[in-house]
Structure 1
């Protein structure tokens, strides 16, 4: 059985608290809370036994004591998920004529990421003095193996190439010879699985590559403006290196859309956020992480977070009401991506001289602080933006009545409501008749 007690003070300035206390069956005790400040439950309670707490103060002298006894109701909600599988059967006819197989490799469209990738077996079976050779299947494609001079290796094969893949390149610094006519027509350049320490700022001063893959090379430095002339660049893969930053000026790369930065040193979230704001799509974003700093917005300590968490924090700031401060109150992303992602927000609009509640709140706002303002009405709690709200701090305002709470979703599921030092004259008894 749950006993709900309401004590209205007989003198001005005393705290009026409506609280819910769970007594054993048969108990007739009445619990009254009296003090000068709101107190929250020290230990969290399960959802089925959560106790809403109302903290209020009245300026008028009211002598009344109300005791309401209600039975505890426990409701179990069961959600059933039904998965329907549609089976589609396609019948095709096969002729007796066998046609030769033709394989064509194109630069992937914008909804896919990938550069030309030569088959690994080509390097295992490659012979000859020249480290490069035409791909036996892909037209206009050149593969190179175990080179130590990229320009010399490419130059030993006559032809005009659209796609080049170099494996196991070993150079301390990667620089392309701009005068080399073989690289001026490139659409895709892959340099992978090698040993390269630095990408020079003069790495490429030609604008043709659409896709650039320099993954898995132990690269620790990419000089500023290394990619500045790659104006047609759409896709960049710098994954599996030792990089801690992304030296890209997104404003100069108008076509740039796809980026892969997985398996590097933890990059500062500030760098990744620049890419997010430039509408860059990250490849395998669930495997992309960044490092927050103590001075970075929304986070109070250094911690490695998922890209999705960073995106959620950025979206929260975009939806934050003007003059208010918004932060992520709870952010849960399972590392294995098997659990439900939980994001809730806390909005602080205290001390802003507001005369009304914010018109809209960010999605999933569960805590709102509008204390120390000039708000007179609680009508806004009926709004759609307030459906997730469970904790409200509204102390030090000009609110005169709680009647506007009747029928609101907030009244049915709130866990904390502070409304001290307002202009309240009465507290409706239905506030105590909560179905818990």
Structure 2
């Protein structure tokens, strides 16, 4: 009986303990409910007071992005909405651990801020259902693996992670090759030196932000701009995006950082360059400088058609062509310079051609406005000074004419030589203009070398007059001497005494 009673007491004690525990748990739950409600209200108030930046729209949804002030305090990751997770200040281990807790099958948006990750394994299954993935303002050492083939990522933000091209596109694999739904890529503020071609597919529209990567090759940007599907690629922060242009000449090597807007100009320029006539000239066209033309800023163009086996001057030059080089061709005439496309040409190089004269430049806009004209080593036979004189009277223009062997005559010595000496400041190589037939430099010509005329009897008129004056003086002297002898000695010397008497001799007796 005692035993049975003891058992009854034990059962009653266990029941009492169970009721007490249940009551205690219920009390804690009720205390947590107001607290959680208060926290949710506080978070809601904070979200109203501090709105995050508006997300960018993509074809499959929004680019999910949160600011530093929204970072969770107690945990490394927290669920912002049923489909969005935001993490801050994590390393590889903590990120993996936190994502395993916070991410669910409904999670489609992920933003990780300031993550220090040695190896980011993108082949993880938790990334498969994401449509927006952002890892920003951190330090990613290496990207390994490959996104799943059925990945739905439409927006990928990997900005400001100290990424290099070797990290973003490892040579052994292509981690982003399966992102066929990608429409927004933000890889700004990294250390990329190679254009992420694998991320910029040509079969869909995509917005790309590569600003802050100043050493991406300009040729890669230009290649994307010139493809048939260039209209599908939009560069975000276009005015802040720059590229690196290699400058190499013999031993000289340098890198020029320039805005990619210059490449747009280059793209349009390349189209105009292909229209230069004659066809298949294969000239190259590059922007030269910003120039004020007719009160408006224009990009002056430099065209290089040298060593192209041209037989005539090119025409239909790109608009605002300021410099033209057609050296080392087989050009014989300057007549096409009258073409309207030469209106803004100020520098013209036609060295080492077969041009015989410059008369065809008379009346052209070029000859009235040129700043540099080089026509060295051609086949000029003379210099038509009247064509050039008006322009050389002004300050600034330079003319190079050395290497030509002109025909030299008296006119050369009388006209061209003084003209060269008068304009020696505008013609720095004036001593290089030479005469044919090995007669030396034009400025060294002497009149006796070239000024020869056939003689006639008039060339001896002064000698005849001189002889007549001498004979007259001798005759007067002889007559005076004979008269003096006759008066003093009474006879006439020879030959006066042999001369017959004349009727007028009585006048002298």
**Superposed displacement of residue 106, structure 1:** 6.2
Task: State the partner residue of 1:161.
Answer: 107
Q: Residue 184 of structure 1 aligns with which residue?
A: 128
* Contact 2:77-2:85 at 8 Å conserved across structures: no
Q: CA deviation at 1:213?
A: 0.5
The structure richer in helix per residue is: 2
Matched, 1:354 2:310: yes
* Distance change (3 Å), C-alpha of 1:368 and 1:304: closer
2:253 match: secondary structure: coil
227 and 253 in structure 1: CA distance in 2 versus 1, 3 angstrom threshold? farther
Cα displacement (A) at 1:253: 5.2
Q: Secondary structure at the match of 1:347?
A: strand
- Residue 246 (structure 1) shift: 3.3
When residues 252 and 395 of structure 1 are mapped into structure 2, their CA distance, relative to the original with a 3 A threshold, is closer
Q: Does 1:230 align with 2:176?
A: no
Partners of 2:301 and 2:320 within 8 A in 1: yes
Q: Give the match for residue 348 of structure 2.
A: 392
User: 1:370 maps to what in 2?
Assistant: 326
Question: How much does 1:227 deviate?
Answer: 1.3
Aligned to 1:196: 140
C-alpha separation in 2, matches of 1:258 and 1:287: 15
Change (3 A) 1:287 1:186: same
Whichever of the two has the greater Rg, that structure is 2
What corresponds to 1:115 in structure 2?
A: 63
Cα 1:371–1:121, aligned 2, differ >3 Å: closer, same or farther? closer
Matched-pair contact (CA < 8 Å) for 1:178–1:205: no
Structure 1: how far apart are the matches of 2:325 and 2:224? 32
Counterpart of 2:371 in structure 1 is: 415
Q: Which residue of 1 aligns with 2:85?
A: 142
The match for 2:441 is: none
Task: Give CA-to-partner distance per residue, 1:210-240, whole Å, 9 cap, x none.
Answer: 2211112223311342211111212211222
Q: Distance in 2 between matches of 1:397 and 1:262?
A: 47
- Can you give the 5+ residue segments of structure 2 that lack an aligned partner in the other structure? 1-47, 395-509
TM-score, structure 1 length as denominator?
Answer: 0.60
Secondary structure in structure 2 of the residue aligned to 1:301: strand
Task: Choose the corresponding residue for 1:383, options 322, 339, 358.
Answer: 339
- Which residue of 167, 172, 180 maps to 2:118? 172
2:257 aligned partner: 305
> Greater relative contact order (Cα 8 A, min sep 6): structure 1 or 2?
1
Q: How much has 1:198 moved relative to structure 2? A: 1.5
> Deviation at 1:387?
2.0
Q: Does 1:239 align with 2:239?
A: no
Report if aligned partners of 2:298, 2:320 keep a CA contact under 8 Å in 1: no
Please list, as runs of the form range in 1=range in 2, the aligned pairs for 1:334-349 lying within 5 A after superposition.
343-349=299-305
The alpha-carbon deviation at position 303 of structure 1 amounts to 1.5
Distance 1:371 1:205, change over 3 A: same
Are residues 208 and 331 of structure 1, via their aligned partners in 2, closer, same or farther at CA, if it must alter by over 3 Å? farther
Shift of 1:414: 0.7
Contact 2:137 2:160 in 1 (8 A): yes
The 8 Å contact of residues 193 and 217 in structure 1, kept in 2 or not, is answered as yes
Going from structure 1 to structure 2, the CA distance change for 1:332 and 1:400 (only over 3 Å counts) comes to closer
Indicate the RMSD between aligned Cα atoms, in angstroms: 4.0
Q: Alpha carbons of 1:159 and 1:239: their partners in 2 closer, same or farther (altered >3 Å)?
A: same
Deviation per CA, 1:93-136, whole angstroms, max 9, x where unpaired? xxxxxxx99999664269xxx9321132221x4435x723124x
Mapped pair 1:405 → 2:358: no
- The number of residue pairs the alignment matches comes to 320
Matched, 1:127 2:51: no
Judge which range, 192-201 or 394-403, deviates more: 394-403
Q: Match of 1:373, SS?
A: coil
Residue 400 to residue 299, structure 1, CA distance change in 2 (3 Å) = same
